[in-house]
Amino acid sequence: MTEALELLRGAKRPVIVVGHGARSHMAPIVRLAERLGAPVITTFKAKGQIGDDHPLAAGVLGRSGTPVASWVMNEADLLLVLGASFSNHTGIYAGHPIIQVDFDQMQLGKFHAVDVPVWGEVGVVVERLRGEIPDQPQGADQIAQLAERWAIWRAEKASRAGDDRGHGVNSASVFAAMERQIPGDAVIAVDVGNHAYSFGRYFECKRHTVLMSGYLGSIGFGYPAAMGAWAAAPERPTVAVTGDGGFAQYMAEVTTAVKHGMNITHVLLNNGQLGKIAKEQRAGEWDVWQTTLHNPDFSAFARNCGALGIRVTDRSQLDAALAEAVAYDGPAMVEVMTDPDLV
């Protein structure tokens, strides 16, 4: 603990990296971040653990993340990593000095050496650190710099939301409309696929709770997870975000949702393919093989099951469709016909 305090006291640009293992300790972590003036980056699975409207929030780091988080990582002179596994997907830079805190001793330095491993319960450790840190940050004004970076990224997102090649709705506009229409305290269950990468990149969380399978590739997770979330907390708005490939594996569950009156808003991004698999095939310089899908009209299927089903073919229809689905008492689907390349 003494070594960790020395590094924190000497840092001019400290950054906190939060993983899913810190999900139960965010209140003390945010208090420590405010004491340090340190930006908070999350892993993809930890998305939403700090609202993106907090002045120290820097978004998701890694392949599913934002350029804001990448910039913060590059500029840091010290990383305080809390409850994160150092997945390659996340891209925590090992060249910075690192303090790693984890309750699981086997996670400390698992993939590479860290400067100061701290074995302990995250909430207890960060409260002890905060008690020994001066009230005023000693380094750069990272809050102002973060605000500048967010402004740049939000302008870029707005630009991407206007993209239209005539092959479907772009993902940036889908998640921009979700930000406007989805309640700020919703539980959002996200499936596996390119839509999940876009969600991590574009959607800004407030007090949302995000459920995902992490990096397990558990395609089909999204809709059943939303059903479980509704059953656990029916008083909260519940949203499922899926692709067409994942939803098709469990589409019969709409009948279960209708039977039990599950108030689930389902946003289905239909690009007619297994987009993530196609992208990986291209990245490996292989032929794109067997990734196209023969889909039904999912919105019509939802209506046949007794749910609300709306199909969106133009981004101008997004807000009205989402508002209607959110207001509907029962399971509702907004099927968005999306461009597979504008993700």
- The continuous run of DSSP H or E covering 127 comes out as helix 122-131
Where are the domains positioned within the chain?
Answer: 2-146, 162-337
Report the alpha-carbon distance of residue 119 to residue 216 in Å, rounded: 26
Per-residue pLDDT for the chain (343 aa), expressed as one digit of tens each? 899 999 999 999 999 999 999 999 999 999 999 999 999 999 999 999 999 999 999 999 998 899 999 999 999 999 999 999 898 889 999 999 999 999 998 889 988 889 999 999 999 999 999 999 877 667 779 999 999 999 999 999 999 999 999 999 999 999 999 999 999 999 999 999 999 999 999 999 999 999 998 766 789 999 999 999 999 999 999 999 999 999 999 999 999 999 999 999 999 999 987 767 667 777 777 877 777 889 999 999 999 999 999 999 999 999 999 999 999 999 999 999 999 999 9
Rounded to an integer, what is the distance from CA 243 to the centroid of its chain? 15
Nearest to 217 by CA among 237, 239, 236, 245: 245
Q: Give burial (CB, 10 Å; 0-12/13-18/19+) of 201.
A: buried
Rounded to an integer, what is the distance from CA 104 to the centroid of its chain? 24
Q: pTM of the predicted model, to two decimals?
A: 0.93
User: Which is the CATH superfamily of the domain at 2-146?
Assistant: TPP-binding domain (3.40.50.1220)
- In this structure, which topology does domain 162-337 adopt according to CATH? Rossmann fold (3.40.50)
Same fold yes or no, 2-146 and 162-337: yes
Other beta carbons within 10 Å of 2: 8
Question: 């698992």: which residue's tokens?
Answer: 110
Nearest to 60 by CA among 84, 94, 31, 37: 84
